Every structure is written in structure tokens, then in C-alpha cells.
Amino acid sequence: MADIAEASSVAFNNLVVIGGGSGTFAEEFIAACGLSVVVIEPSPESAAAYRKRGITVNESFLEDVQPNELPQGHSIFTSFELFEHVHDPRHWLESIADLMQSEDVLVVTTLSGLGLDIRTLWDQSDSASPPHHINFLNPTSMSQLAMNVGLETLRVFTPGVLDLDIMKNNRAKVTDRFWTSVLDISDEAELYRWQQFISDSGRSSHMWAVLQKP
């Protein structure tokens, strides 16, 4: 996150965390970067826990937050591992775009439906079944969705490192002959090279999207 902020020509003042999780990221970011941080979190229990930790929280659903309720100045918005659960991805992303001002940045992490372990395991993938994950975009469709709601794609990449580990842990479910041979006879060094190639090629199931409002 610090690298993304430093790579931008914009002087950011705030971090807006959509769905704060345990609050650890917000705390670490405050310690590392010193920006003002606010968490958008609808759960009363989670919101109370953030306040106890000294983290500013807007106890609302994302769609109910108004721009004037957020800190002044340019913001980095983040949403980690939430996109794959939302009911209406376009409406959800539009709601964030409406809160952003020109040059603000949104960082989303989610699953890519073109990721190796998901494509190989398919209906046997724990990510796909049971259907607790309902959205599986990919680098191309994520960029298209961003454009449709008025956001520019600065970067979409797949830095995941677990595709082959997931496949090894589910070896009995892997039926593709090529990948069974890779999993069965490759040493750790070769598996590492394969995973690096998968990530660099945009074919990992873990995806980051860095989007900006013009």
C-alpha cells in the first residue's frame, strides 16, 4: 500500500477502509504511514471493537455513506477480500466511485476466475463450492467494470503465491494430466518457478486492482 501511495503524484491525506476485518491493517497502516484512517463497517460489534482500539469508524453500510461524512483531502480507499461476496458488483463499485473525488485511488483485492487453481479444480475448488464466493472477475473484466462506473484502471495484477499449494493440497481432485505431472515430479525450486510464472502472467487466483477516479 505504501508503494502505491508513493508511486502516485497525488498527496494522499486519508485511508478509507471498506470492511475493516479485524482492524489489524488499519492499525499497521496508521503506524507505517501516519495518514488519517476511517473504517466503513456496518456491524455494531465490529464498529465498537474498532473504537476501543482508537480507530475512527463510520458505522454504516457502504451504500448509505455520504461523501461529506468522510475526511477532507485525497483518499486511498481499500477493500480486501470483500468483492467476491457482494450481491451486485456494479452497484457496489458505483457506490465507492460516488464517494471518491477526482484523483482518489481505490485498491481492491479479490479472486480471479482465471486463476490456475480455480480453473483446474473448477467445481471441486473450495473457492467455488459451496458458493460462499459469488463473483469471479478477472483482470480484463475488472478493468471493464471499472470503466463502466467511471473509474480508470491504473494496474491490475495477480501476485498470488498459493495456486500450486492449493492444487497440491487437493491433489486427488486434479485430473489434468499436465498439472498432475507438474505436481507429482517437480521439486520445490521448479514449483516456485511455475508459481512465479503464473503470477507474472496474470493467471493467479489472487487479484489486485488499483483504480482511480479521473
Contact partners, residue 193, CB within 8 Å, separation at least 6: none
pLDDT (tens place) for every residue of the chain, 214 residues total: 667 666 676 788 999 999 877 677 777 777 777 788 999 999 999 889 888 888 899 999 999 999 999 999 999 999 999 999 999 999 999 999 999 999 999 999 999 999 999 999 999 999 987 778 999 999 999 999 999 999 999 999 999 999 999 999 999 999 999 999 999 999 999 999 999 999 999 999 999 999 999 9
Between CA 11 and CA 9 the distance in angstroms is 7
Quick one: pLDDT at residue 2? 63
Quick one: pLDDT at residue 109? 97
- Tally of CA atoms within 13 A in the half-sphere of 185 that contains its CB: 6
The CA distances from residue 141 to 16, 70, 133, 134, in Å, are: 24, 29, 17, 15
Quick one: pLDDT at residue 118? 97
pTM assigned to the model: 0.92
Task: Return the bridge partners of 19, or none.
Answer: none
Query: 55: which 3 cell numbers?
Result: 480507530
Task: Return the bridge partners of 212, or none.
Answer: 105, 152
Between CA 170 and CA 175 the distance in angstroms is 11
Between CA 162 and CA 166 the distance in angstroms is 6
Quick one: pLDDT at residue 1? 65
- Tell me the one-letter amino acid at 70: L
Tally of helices (H runs) and strands (E runs) in the chain: 9, 7
Between CA 20 and CA 42 the distance in angstroms is 10
DSSP E strands: which ranges in the chain? 14-18, 36-40, 56-58, 75-80, 105-111, 152-157, 206-212
